[in-house]
């Protein structure tokens, strides 16, 4: 005899399982000593935290791509590339199919731009004077064979040519 469908979903898509189980708990009637509403809320929130972590890793991936595309500094590029790869890998690891419809690339891109500009301000670097549209798709960012160089080229290409010419250049140490 096979496992109940809920257990299969748990293994296949944890986020979808949390949302499904929360709905099922809310639908329970009967024993009023079991706090189904609060338990369902906690399960749903746990799934949403997982989704938010994926969105955060995607925003960090984009922020580091933006920094590496905007500031021409070879020494910093090594650090940023490490962060790009780390956050992209974490996003891939935590991502599930059920999250896709709730991950908005426009919002994630704007967050990445804000994070990059905050970093620029903190380190006395010029901020990006414009907000180009996101040049990458969710599929590209979540690809198992993610190509950092291709992603950097796409992000650089998103900046208007007049901005590309004014990119800050820093010598390597």
Radius of gyration in angstroms for the set of CA atoms belonging to the chain, rounded to a whole number: 20
What is residue 1's predicted lDDT score, i.e. its pLDDT? 38
User: Can you give the CATH number for the domain in which 155 is found?
Assistant: 1.20.1220.20
The percent of residues in the chain predicted with pLDDT above 90, rounded, is 49
Question: Residue 90 — pLDDT band, cuts 50, 70, 90?
Answer: very high
The answer, yes or no, to whether residue 122 has pLDDT greater than 80, is yes
What is the residue range of 135's domain? 50-165
Tens digit of each residue's pLDDT (9 = 90 or more) over 144-167:
999 999 999 999 888 876 555 555
Q: Please count the structural domains in the chain.
A: 1
Lowest mean pLDDT among 45-59, 100-114, 124-138: 124-138
Mean pLDDT within 27-39: 71
The answer, yes or no, to whether residue 84 has pLDDT greater than 80, is yes
With respect to residue 85, please indicate whether it lies within any of the assigned structural domains.
yes
Lowest mean pLDDT among 58-67, 121-130, 150-159: 121-130
Mean pLDDT within 118-146: 90
With respect to residue 91, please indicate whether it lies within any of the assigned structural domains.
yes
């Amino acid at each position: 005899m096979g496992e109940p469908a809920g257990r299969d979903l748990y293994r296949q898509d944890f986020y979808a399982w949390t949302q499904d189980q929360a709905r099922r708990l809310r639908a329970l009637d009967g024993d009023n000593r079991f706090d189904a509403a609060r338990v369902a809320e906690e399960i749903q929130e746990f799934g949403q935290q997982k989704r938010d972590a994926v969105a955060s890793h995607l925003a960090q991936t984009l922020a580091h791509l933006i920094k590496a595309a905007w500031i021409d500094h070879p020494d910093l590029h090594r650090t940023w590339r490490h962060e790009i790869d780390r956050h992209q890998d974490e996003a891939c690891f935590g991502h599930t199919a059920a999250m896709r419809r709730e991950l908005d690339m426009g919002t994630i891109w704007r967050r990445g731009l804000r994070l990059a500009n905050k970093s620029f301000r903190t380190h006395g670097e010029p901020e990006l004077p414009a907000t180009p549209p996101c040049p990458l798709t969710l599929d590209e960012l979540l690809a198992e064979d993610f190509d950092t160089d291709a992603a950097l080229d796409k992000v650089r290409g998103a900046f208007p040519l007049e901005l590309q010419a004014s990119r800050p250049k820093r010598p390597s140490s």
